[in-house]
Chain A
């Protein structure tokens, strides 16, 4: 038998967690995977959807704060995100179906820790940190330190993710997330890539970050991209492909072979950098890039 408490204050949530309850946000991972027989429902659940502060999106001097309960439907339309942290909106817009997006949350996505999660790679390239809180205090961790394996995080069982924090964006910057998909709804990333680009005044690359979805046990940042600084964005976009393929350690499964994944992750990385650079240069590419630019963001 599962029991569920539905507090309205954060303190009560944290207390329930301290007492051994598991948080449930939208339930689209938690409930569905128990129905599929992957993991039984925990004995005690605490719902976090009635805590108003967890649904806030706020700008501050150090950037943007997204409450853990913010849904994908909101992420994909929220102006603050669409304008400055577009890759997150690109990703949210691709999640499942309208009903999945209406209930699935950013906190659930991040804390579920699936290597195929869509908001993960965008948050990595944008330098996000999650804020974890428990009755005994609060701390911020980078995503690289949060995810320790498929479905595993370094958060303690009594820690709630209250928010995701995104640092301020540099000038002339843009970001994008593209995903390989075999159909246009209810798809799970076969592979996906996010890029954040900022441009120098002459239009060359000033900074670039790329992260990869579904090609390793966790979301992976592509290392050592400094060599791309100073390059023309189209050249940089081509160069990123072999780097992404080399970073990936994909598996073969029903969705794709490792060979095909290793190839297409390069393609996605190239397209993500291209789209991010175009946004950085001031061009508007509608969210999500996948739809605006056609299949898997082909030009």
Chain B
């Protein structure tokens, strides 16, 4: 194991290829693009949370001069779509189930005319009772969000019941027997509000048909997924839909999935013109089927006298919202986070994904994890306190370690959770001594890696310049940028020798996209594989050129040399020139994804494939906060982070990921939460009342990586890192607040007013 001792000790300088364009403003985003004859799209939304449609009349809208098309459900193929539970259609039919549901799409010659047409659409409806509360939604007498749920063509092991979209249980050992053995039992409830990904760039889509092919420029994190959505809903083969993503202004999961590409493609086809959609900030909040789910978590844990956990029982409700975007696996994933990275012999957790008449939930950076970890880790401090044990010691005792068996029976290979705890504690203790009303809190977290198919091409042209052509999508993490380093290292070249062509589904092979922290793990493998094919060709050319054995050729510093005699060399540029006159230097890579581990004897109902974790990532964050007792305002002063994400390939990018994850975590902890009105509509859908953290709020952040080259992971034993830093921050802040308040604040976000209310509670 090696640890990067000090982030100031100059990790290799690595300039992102997309950095200067973004910083100087020369980068082009979807909203910046214009095509000749382009029209402007606007959507008409339901504006009500739950209603039966009586009439949608677009006659007046169509009659407005400058309006080229108004589309409704009847104008597109009648397809119900979504992964696992196909419960959605492009346009509302019969019933609207949340305020941001699309009734109609307009294309007009200016945004103002499009808006006038939207306003002229007549929508008559009968209101239906609103399903908002998760527990009420699960009652037998609750109105149903989807009356026809039983008829949806679901796939996989997906038990469903009325408003419960998916149900999943984790079960191991005998919880009743374990509880009977317990010396101390602690019971807690935690409730988390929903929140938003809030990327700086609002969504944009621009579509243009040429013959029977459509090109769509879109702000997507997952271009292939977007393409597949268009193909499914408009019934087109994949080779007639091309998705291009220009610069993406952040995503944080919010731009995963398939969104409005098909609506705009349909408008462009109907009008025979390019059509562009650009969202307002308000639409960005209200409409996409991607926001962080609200959750209710009940936890009961039994401890033995020595402080070891003997049994845990859990009950979870995760909000699905009106439709199932990609949230089908959230019930099981939430259960894993609520169970936590602990050694527990007897566990039973029932977890439910519940329909409501709110905006649909979907993968926002580490879905379910910040909330699940916050509940689990706040509960962990309550457990330690109940038996008077130091919370660090409690975690070291109960936390999993190399060779240990976890909550679902998975036995872990070499992992660094214990070292993460030590490293976080060590770093936070190095911070200045605690002042008045200051406290330190700590939490551990975990997150899976997602092996999957992925492809890339690499080529060296005759001047020796390299080109990487990849299906991977850069959403700001720097993962795609790091591909240059991998290719360069494989070929003994400099990262600056490579340009990257990315984010174009017609040009590059498949990749899952910027989701599941998977880019480096999977596409890194593909690029290394492709580059190695070129390396083989170069070694052969060099061997011929220098009359040496192929096995003796070493590629380094832009040259091929004979092992042991570096002066006997030829430049790679020269070899490329030779190859340029014959068999070209082209590599294509994919590589077999690492296997998922097997879990003997696991007893899970509703398995969505996220109980057995490949190359799990571990983390521990320790925070120092100050509390203003008179107002409940909390300020985070220091955050010390330790992460086991396997080998760190691009340190600058890795530190950036951790720091961004911490800031996002602080927002979730303290200020970011959606308020709903009685009418089922968001009350703070905008940046005025939805309070993101600002740079002025940023604490000191220090990071250590526990680098364990991990088998069955990505290149050189790298795991993922984009989501992990977002997992334990809110939990650590919760534990620091609880020390100052005397009890945990059981609602997320832990706003100043909620903290102040907790301060007013009498100590029992």
Contact = CB atoms under 8 A, between A and B. Distances in A.
Contacts of B628: 294-296, 298
Contacts, number: 55
Contact of A296 (B633, B688, B696, B753): B633
A295 B635 contact: yes
Contacts of B633: 180-182, 295-296
A180 B693 contact: no
Contacts of B110: none
B752 A182 contact: yes
Contact of A183 (B671, B683, B688, B753): B671
B93 interface: no
Contacts of A58: none
A298 B671 CA distance: 20
Interface string B664-696: 000000110001000000011000110101111
A59 B697 CA distance: 37
Nearest to A181: B633
Given A254-B675, A257-B753, A295-B626, A185 B694 contact: yes
A181 B693 CA distance: 12
Nearest to B686: A36
A182 B635 contact: no
Contacts of A181: 633
B437 to A, nearest CB: 8
Given A182-B670, A256-B753, A295 B631 contact: yes
Interface in A52-88: none
B630 interface: yes
Interface in A249-299: 254-257, 260, 263-264, 267, 294-296, 298
A139 interface: no
B673 to A, nearest CB: 10
Contacts of A294: 626, 628, 635
Contacts of B751: 182
B670 A267 contact: no
A260 B691 CA distance: 18
B464 to A, nearest CB: 46
Please tell me the size bucket of the interface on A: 20 to 34
Residue in A185, A263, A298 with the greatest tally of chain B CB atoms within 10 Å: A298
A11 interface: no
Contacts of A39: none
Contact of A254 (B635, B689, B697): B689
B736 to A, nearest CB: 15
Nearest to B698: A184
Residue in A181, A183, A264 with the greatest tally of chain B CB atoms within 10 Å: A183
A185 B631 contact: no
B756 interface: yes
B695 A254 contact: no
A186 interface: yes
B691 A182 contact: yes
A172 to B, nearest CB: 28
B631 A180 contact: yes
Contacts of B691: 182-183
A257 B630 CA distance: 16
B745 to A, nearest CB: 14
Contacts of A254: 675, 683-684, 689
Residue in B684, B695, B756 with the greatest tally of chain A CB atoms within 10 Å: B756
Nearest to B695: A185
A171 B70 CA distance: 72
Interface residues of B, number: 23
Given A256-B753, A296-B633, A298-B630, A184 B694 contact: yes
A249 B357 CA distance: 35
Nearest to B628: A295
Contact of B697 (A184, A256, A267): A184
Nearest to B435: A294
Interface string A162-203: 000000000000000000111111101000000000000000
Contacts of A180: 631, 633, 752
Interface string A137-169: 000000000000000000000000000000000
Interface in A216-235: none
A13 to B, nearest CB: 31
B756 A183 contact: no
B693 A255 contact: no
Contacts of A257: 753
B631 A184 contact: no
B756 A260 contact: yes
A260 B689 contact: no
Interface in B601-654: 626, 628, 630-631, 633, 635
Given A183-B671, A257-B753, A296 B631 contact: yes
Contacts of A184: 694, 696-697
A294 B630 CA distance: 13
Residue in B631, B695, B753 with the greatest tally of chain A CB atoms within 10 Å: B631
Contacts of B697: 183-185
A188 B690 CA distance: 12
Residue in B626, B675, B753 with the greatest tally of chain A CB atoms within 10 Å: B753
Given A255-B689, A267-B630, A185 B752 contact: no
B42 to A, nearest CB: 15
A183 B696 CA distance: 8
A1 to B, nearest CB: 12
Nearest to B693: A183
A110 B322 CA distance: 45
Contacts of B756: 260, 263-264
Nearest to B633: A295
B696 A185 contact: yes
Contacts of A256: 753
Contacts of B688: 188
A180 B694 CA distance: 16
Nearest to B690: A254
Contacts of A263: 756
A71 B5 CA distance: 47
Nearest to B437: A298
19 contacts: A180-B631, A180-B633, A182-B691, A182-B752, A183-B697, A184-B696, A184-B697, A185-B697, A188-B688, A254-B675, A254-B683, A254-B689, A260-B753, A264-B630, A267-B631, A294-B626, A294-B635, A295-B631, A298-B628
Interface of A: 180-186, 188, 254-257, 260, 263-264, 267, 294-296, 298
In the A-B complex, the 9 residue pairs with the smallest Cβ-Cβ separation, listed nearest first, are A184-B696, A185-B696, A185-B694, A295-B628, A267-B630, A298-B628, A260-B753, A295-B633, A254-B689
Interface of B: 626, 628, 630-631, 633, 635, 670-671, 675, 683-684, 688-689, 691, 693-697, 751-753, 756
Given A182-B751, A183-B693, 11 more contacts: A180-B631, A180-B752, A182-B752, A184-B694, A184-B696, A184-B697, A185-B697, A294-B626, A295-B626, A295-B628, A296-B633
